[in-house]
Amino acid sequence: MKKKTYEGYTYVDGGVCAAKGFVANGINCGLNSDKNKNDLGMVYSSTVCNAAAVYTQNKVKGAPILVTKEHLKATGGKAMAVVVNSKNANTCNADGVEKAERICELAADALGIDADMIINASTGVIGQIIPIEPFEEHMKELAGGLSADGNDKAANAIMTTDTVDKQVAVEFILGGKTCRLGGMAKGSGMIHPNMATTLNFITTDVAISADMIQKALSEIVKITYNCLSIDGDTSTNDTLSVMANGLAGNEEIVTENDDYAIFKKALYIVMECMTMMLASDGEGASKMLECTVSGAPDQDTAIIVAKSIIRSPLTKCAMFGEDANWGRILCAIGYAEADFDIDKVDVDLESEKGIVEVCRNGSGIPFSEEKASEVLSEDDIYINVNLNQGEASAKAWGCDLTYDYVKINGDYRS
């Protein structure tokens, strides 16, 4: 997947540890029988952070979400650490909340902080009782190993069916100070976010109030993660948190000023990039799909149409087969639940190999199948739709539907 370039923002290494003052670690505590795979991760800032989060809108919510919400409410948007495990979602268990609270207490003890300073998250199989012993036995080891280059270990700990870890960070100037914002994400299947997605943890050294983080986060999640669909299944454990410790030394952002715009753009870049990483590594994916809908009467219509295309199993299969079967794209545009005139729609298929125009004014036009096959042979495919009835636009991301998706999910639990 090719990262996009944005003027004034430079990609840097380090993920959640890229920003000043953040340390991380990841270990295998025994939830995962593969000792080479981490299953417990931690991110920590010794300086108290302003924090905000968004969560799944699924009625079934993982117990960690209920506990994290309570913590952020109790502290008025403050946090110092994330503790997160994979392999077990701690969801649909009668004792889930009790266990999540216990995990936070263990982490708080190991760090010498209050339990309500902890953001907790879990991912994995739904509906299996989570054993507490691995946490009791390994939490001190986890906290003891925190380091400024522990981001890889933490990113590994949150992976489930992911084939690669997802980390990104950018450096930028804000209020005369060099700032950084970075994060890590997991997710591969059960991805069709609604107000949040998968597990994502973002850290920054920018000084900004919790309210302003929440505002930026809510706006950007709508046009990044919420425009991602791997399979149409909205997870029960989606959590995305942002922690800002202020160590960059800029004047704290408390209004929508120029500094806020710079911060918001950094957040957008990191979230867009992680969205694309998640799409590229969708379960079984061989191709990343980015659909841009322009010429829409309003942004919501553009989003609805773009997501409808990205979600269409038949379109996804056609992309896997490198088949320019654009009728399926038009079909998915046609059943999108929005109000627009289908007879004005243009569709192009694009990749690094070029552009093929396949549909004008809702009807097919002659095109070279040879050229189309060449364009669709690339790993990153761009589906460009112009509704030709307005000025608004939006993007959505996803991946092709392959044999491997079925293979991975035909027997996930074993």
Under DSSP, the state recorded for 126 is T
Q: Please tell me the distance from the alpha carbon of residue 256 to that of residue 264, in angstroms, as a whole number.
A: 10
Among 34, 133, 255, 410, binds its own copies (CB under 8 A): 410
User: Would you say 63 or 82 has its CB closer to its own copies?
Assistant: 63
Among 46, 47, 194, 209, binds its own copies (CB under 8 A): 194
Among 8, 127, 144, 354, binds its own copies (CB under 8 A): 127
User: Would you say 134 or 284 has its CB closer to its own copies?
Assistant: 284
| 384 binding its own copies? (CB under 8 A) | no
Beta carbons of 348 and 372 less than 8 angstroms apart: no
Beta carbons of 306 and 224 less than 8 angstroms apart: no
DSSP 264-286: HHHHHHHHHHHHHHHHHTSTT-S
| 132 binding its own copies? (CB under 8 A) | no
* Residue 171, token pair as written in the block: 């450096």
SS3 219: helix
Stretch that binds its own copies, among 75-83, 111-119, 199-207, 326-334 (CB under 8 A): 326-334
Q: Please tell me the distance from the alpha carbon of residue 168 to that of residue 181, in angstroms, as a whole number.
A: 9
Q: CB atoms < 10 A from the CB of 384, how many? A: 16
User: Would you say 5 or 335 has its CB closer to its own copies?
Assistant: 335
Among 260, 328, 381, 387, binds its own copies (CB under 8 A): 328
Q: How far is the CB of 128 from its own copies (least distance, A)?
A: 7
In degrees and rounded to multiples of 5, residue 374 shows phi and psi of -65, -45
- Closest CA relative to residue 239, chosen from 210, 197, 271: 197
Among 97, 113, 125, 132, binds its own copies (CB under 8 A): 125
| 122 binding its own copies? (CB under 8 A) | no
User: Would you say 190 or 243 has its CB closer to its own copies?
Assistant: 190
| 172 binding its own copies? (CB under 8 A) | no
- Assess whether 197 carries a catalytic annotation: yes
Among 47, 128, 299, 351, binds its own copies (CB under 8 A): 128
Does 160 belong to an annotated binding site? yes
User: Would you say 34 or 343 has its CB closer to its own copies?
Assistant: 343
Beta carbons of 184 and 201 less than 8 angstroms apart: yes
Among 183, 189, 282, 398, binds its own copies (CB under 8 A): 189
Q: How far is the CB of 380 from its own copies (least distance, A)?
A: 19
Find residue 49's DSSP bridge partners.
79
Q: Please tell me the distance from the alpha carbon of residue 133 to that of residue 24, in angstroms, as a whole number.
A: 22
In degrees and rounded to multiples of 5, residue 103 shows phi and psi of -60, -40
Q: CB atoms < 10 A from the CB of 101, how many? A: 19
Determine how β-strand 177-186 pairs with β-strand 199-204.
antiparallel
Among 8, 76, 313, 354, binds its own copies (CB under 8 A): 313
| 97 binding its own copies? (CB under 8 A) | no
Does 393 belong to an annotated binding site? no
Stretch that binds its own copies, among 42-50, 152-160, 260-268, 318-326 (CB under 8 A): 318-326
- Closest CA relative to residue 344, chosen from 404, 295, 274, 405: 295
| The one catalytic residue among 197, 203, 239, 301 | 197
Q: Which residues contact 321 (CB under 8 A, 6 or more apart)?
A: none
| 98 binding its own copies? (CB under 8 A) | no
Q: Please tell me the distance from the alpha carbon of residue 195 to that of residue 199, in angstroms, as a whole number.
A: 13
Q: Which residues form the interface with its own copies (CB under 8 A)?
A: 57-61, 89, 91-94, 125-129, 189-190, 192, 194, 231-236, 311-314, 317-318, 320-321, 323, 325-328, 330-336, 340, 342, 359, 362-364, 401-403, 405-414
Query: Which residues are part of the catalytic machinery?
Result: 197
Residue ranges of the annotated binding site are 160, 186, 197, 283, 409, 414
